[in-house]
Structure 1
């Protein structure tokens, strides 16, 4: 079994999670059993999986594993009426939750899963003063998953986790941290496999045990690939068995990108490279980063494998949507909405384009800190671009959006390989970018499938984009170049061959 070690799969994900999703689909396509491993307790996980085309069997969550709820034969839709409240209870129905009381005395609340009509998410119990006593937490699939218990100060002191039959399988105790907030201080796995209680200091220690259990139950040699270094490196270093262990490097490995060979390593990756002999290999998204790591750690096994896969080109057959059938003058950005992606500079650059191509539009897909998003929204208003620039937020089905656009832009300071650039090129969108570590120099052939522009030369980049928006032949040529690059270089079979060659089976 292949396990891809992650922290979570959320309703909004980064390229780390999307890389793992792409990979589990690739491995399963070639009949190699693989699962994404997640660590955090998440009652909406199995609802979220369907959003990204994943099955329950594609993911194994630590809490699901110990609760015996990784896969359920059937699920139930729980509403307030199904909770069997005391007959004397009165329920006042609200949009997001319903209040429960007996006469004039409130006894609790029933909260609903966001986006549903009354589907139970939690049942809160309060004392006569309205202070929380305990809260039952309900899983999306319709069973009571855990109960939280609160102290007199209203702070969480304990949480119990259940099997679907109500049996307690795990208890988690909390103590106040230096700021008075609950901090896990002990976890007890109750009579695990009939061998008595197992004690752990915190979720990190339980996660170490969890990975060891996954390896132990595998009849063949297990392979772990850590996708999120802060989650996977430490427990894999602690794993003392015959399993194979790899680290996927999803970010720039140094703090300052100007010095990839001698610069200070990223704090999450430092332990992995300090003990690189403990790992069977390291994987990057780009050849340039693999080459830099090989130069820095010549004895480490390092390779580059694309995070994006495509279908191969077939002679006289293409699904490339012609530029003439897309929105004219449409500019696209895909990625985080944050200062290190130079979003402000992108918007100001578009203002220059708009002056010369009045019908041009600019859509930015991605999520970011609300305060920064508000700053960018205010900037768009200040530049009077509200009708032309749209912050689209995060789209789970972003693949369905690419065919509407003509050009992609990226001005990031640093990246581990922008997935959006590869995905856009796979849809025939030429990429215009500044060179940075890592991605653009590996993906873009200047004048063939896009352009590489000098950092800070805003006018030159605006000129390139205006030229494409006003020269249909040149735009079509670069579109066909981008499509050919993606569908020749990153085909599913080629990417799979690289995995097969690198992994030690």
Structure 2
């Protein structure tokens, strides 16, 4: 299997970041990393100066190619143009950003070829992902970034499979099934009918998604947990508890500080180390001082080696308001450290076997009780820790990779029943004037509102194409389906708005007879 990481965003330090991840062992040396902006820069350079972009023999293929970036503002138009330039000075990609509407038009230019135009970054990204996918079929595109869901679900082609992911809780407060969806997941929800599979982290989230959005295209695959070498002897500190977490309100660190003050009241030798960083760091420190716990509770800063932290501790703690999975919980078990966690909608209760390798509790008093129990019983810590280390093997690379490979094999084995993008609600239109160069002429705008609908249209759904109507001896060589709208303009002579159909950056410029196409705009 040929695995590649496709990065959509522009980042001048991406090559350094990837190299650091390789050095840390988090990305294998053999995995190719491609970037949207660097990839097209290489294509342009290969035409201008063959060999200039070649010779990169590493996993950061293309990333070392230098790219210039310039932003120009169009005075009075609320539009800026971001231009990407090769080391030879060739502008190969432009992003026209409308600051009033938030829209982006993308133009990709290759020397000697007609430019490709896209009405959004998602459309341009989908085109690029298809270019990569057709190089190796069957191809499985995994939207590891939830922001890439719309682009991934727009990639069309035989033997190309679209896989979306959810990395965290998808619900807003009160985090219950049927509640409002977090805005960052709107693209994933939109993509449900059009993806081949949505991968969730826990069975709990699967249950809630099935309740709210019934589908047969869900799979559960937990996060992969990488454990460091454990050759060194384990030296646990009998009274040490740890928290490894972002210092964010949803993690309820301040509530755990207050609860641990009660632990100290029972066991004066108990100590708590809080490892992590985040926007609540100063508030947490202030609460520790207010409670007079500065000798028992310490904020340690960002954790560079969780292995050393967990292998010193007798217990780790969690009290999140909501979780998607909880990697630090699985890491805790993997290093033989029992976890005490409040029950939440997803995560802890599927990682911890209550009473076996840790405790899942429902109230603060029980939370305090279980912490005191473990801090006072090294034999119990050792017994639970051994069971936890065995249980955590569910999340090691061997187990998780097998689940992913099984998923890919299953997708390639048959149809998943994904749907084409549904046409919008609204009026069915028909082209009113023949054109020899692909123009589709709209009905006359009956009002300013109709005219604005025409001007703002970005997509067209072709519903029917007549094989009976000809112009200049030709029928319209257009297939039903979804297209982008290209060059919507007002034709002063004919008194109508007109546009061209565009797919994968190329506009249709053939003959179209009057009333040959039925379509809708969005």
TM-score normalized by the length of structure 2? 0.66
Q: 1:252-308: CA deviations, max 9, x gaps?
A: 233346532x33444444554455342222211122322443455554222211212
Report the Cα distance in structure 2 between the residues aligned to 1:165 and 1:431, rounded to whole angstroms: 57
Deviation at 1:244, TM superposition (A): 0.4
Q: Deviations over 1:116-149 (max 9, x none)?
A: xxxxxxxxxxxxxxxxxxxxxxx99594532345
Aligned: 1:35 with 2:18: no
Q: Superposition pairs for residues 74-473 of structure 1, below 5 Å?
A: 143=66, 145-149=68-72, 157-177=80-100, 185-191=104-110, 194-216=112-134, 218-229=135-146, 231-242=147-158, 243-256=160-173, 259-260=176-177, 262-270=178-186, 272-273=188-189, 276-309=192-225, 319=230, 325-369=235-279, 372-395=280-303, 397-399=305-307, 401-454=309-362, 457-473=363-379
Q: Partner of 2:40 in structure 1?
A: 66
- Deviations along 1:350-391, one digit per CA (max 9) or x if unpaired, are 22223344443323333323xx32222222232333454343
CA apart distance, 1:63:
1.7
- Distance change in 2, residues 1:275/1:204 (3 Å): closer
Distance 1:498 1:74 in 2: 31
Q: Structure 1 residues 165 and 495 mapped into 2: Cα distance closer, same or farther (>3 Å)?
A: same
Question: Structure 1 regions of 5+ residues with no counterpart?
Answer: 1-31, 76-138, 312-317
Question: SS of the counterpart of 1:147?
Answer: strand
The answer for the alignment partner of 2:407 in structure 1 is: 502
Change in Cα spacing, 1:416 to 1:188, as seen in structure 2 (3 Å) is same
Of residues 10, 18, 21, the one that matches 1:49 is 18
Structure 1 residue 233: Cα displacement: 1.8
Cα drift, residue 225 of structure 1: 1.4
* CA displacement, residues 378-427 of structure 1 (integer Å, 9 cap, x when unaligned): 22232333454343444455455432332111111111111111111111
Task: Tell me the equivalent position of 2:512.
Answer: none
Q: CA RMSD in A?
A: 3.4
Structure 2 unaligned residues grouped into runs of 5+? 44-52, 413-522
Q: Is the 8 A contact 2:42 2:65 kept in 1?
A: no
Q: Distance in 2 between matches of 1:156 and 1:410?
A: 47
Distance 1:233 1:184 in 2: 18
Q: What's the TM-score once normalised by structure 1's chain length?
A: 0.68
Displacement of 1:485 in angstroms is 1.1
Q: Structure 2 CA distance, aligned partners of 1:320 and 1:430?
A: 20
* Length, aligned pairs only: 390
